[in-house]
Chains A and B, each alone.
Chain A
Amino acid sequence: RKEVEQDPGPFNVPEGATVAFNCTYSNSASQSFFWYRQDCRKEPKLLMSVYSSGNEDGRFTAQLNRASQYISLLIRDSKLSDSATYLCVVNKANTDKLIFGTGTRLQVFP
Chain B
Amino acid sequence: GAGVSQSPRYKVAKRGQDVALRCDPISGHVSLFWYQQALGQGPEFLTYFQNEAQLDKSGLPSDRFFAERPEGSVSTLKIQRTQQEDSAVYLCASSLGGRWAGAQETQYFGPGTRLLVL
**Which residues from chain A sit less than 8 Å from chain B, CB to CB?**
4, 8, 31-32, 42-46, 87, 89, 91-92, 94-103
Extra contacts besides A46-B106, A96-B33, A97-B56 (17): CB < 8 Å: A4-B42, A8-B40, A32-B104, A44-B43, A89-B42, A91-B103, A94-B100, A95-B100, A96-B31, A96-B55, A97-B103, A98-B45, A98-B103, A100-B44, A102-B40, A102-B41, A103-B42
For chain B, the count of residues having a C-beta within 8 Å of the partner chain is 26
Contact B42 A95 (CB under 8 A): no
* Chain A hits for B112, CB < 8 A: 43
**Which residues from chain B sit less than 8 Å from chain A, CB to CB?**
31, 33, 35, 40-45, 48, 50, 55-56, 59, 91, 99-100, 102-104, 106-107, 109-112
